[in-house]
Amino acid sequence: MNNPIEQFKEEVKQNIEKLGEDTQLRELSEQWFCKSMDDKYSYNFRWMGRPIIQYPQDIMAMQEIIWDVKPDLIIETGIAHGGSLIFYASLLTLLGNHGHVLGIDIDIREHNRTEIEHHPMFDKITMYEGSSIDKDMIQKVFEFAKDYQKILVVLDSCHTGSHVLEECRLYSPLVKQGSYLVVMDTCSEMIYRRMKEANEELPDHLVRPWKLGDNAMTGLQEFLKENDRFQIDTGIDHKLQISCAPNGYLQCIKD
């Protein structure tokens, strides 16, 4: 192979394949990840001034996906402090397109709403308050999305299995071939399993409505059993190693 660009791409591809086979690194990564959750590691990062509450590896993965897909609409359920919305809006701005970001949250805290609305990226952001699986909300979202051609969806609200399954069912029709449906916090099953095996108590910030056997991962697994339009992008898992969304990067493989 004489093309140095293609040669480098092939080298990276082989590196990622090897990472996927490295069980020792996977074990170490899971140990590190669980310990970092104890220390609320993901709370420490900001994007353009707003808390993003994501792991840097997942931020990088989303950047790569957005560059490759070049969506004109990104929908995210779960807003929190708004860092992710601003992150997506800034990337769409860098792409130079007329893309937009739609954020949905059952409770947009007033102080967060104020900060988001006064941010320089807000002209690319719309926010809806209400349950992401409410019938009226779904109608509003589909009405908003009707004029967009390439849509990327990120699910990051309530992480119970039933809620995530319903979100996947409701929002997946918006995602067309080549784009992604991303399910965040699928790490919960692994965290709760490892803590149970170690007979450790959950720290207060991990005591949530979701639990072992009922969380984002279990909802995702049920969705994949009934829907053949999506497949797990294992290459992302292999290269990240550390991620709050293992198996959660779903690529749409057919319309």
193 assigned to some structural domain = yes
91 assigned to some structural domain = no
Number of domains in the chain: 1
90 assigned to some structural domain = no
Helix (H) or strand (E) holding 140, with range, is helix 135-145
122 assigned to some structural domain = no
85 assigned to some structural domain = no
Instruction: Give residue 1's pLDDT.
Output: 58
Look up residue 184 and give its amino acid. M
Domain coverage including residue 247: 4-39+54-78+134-252
**CA distance linking residue 81 with residue 111, whole number of Å:** 9
Positions of the chain with pLDDT under 50: none
121 assigned to some structural domain = no
195 assigned to some structural domain = yes
69 assigned to some structural domain = yes
201 Rama sector, left if φ>0, alpha if ψ -120 to 50, beta otherwise: beta
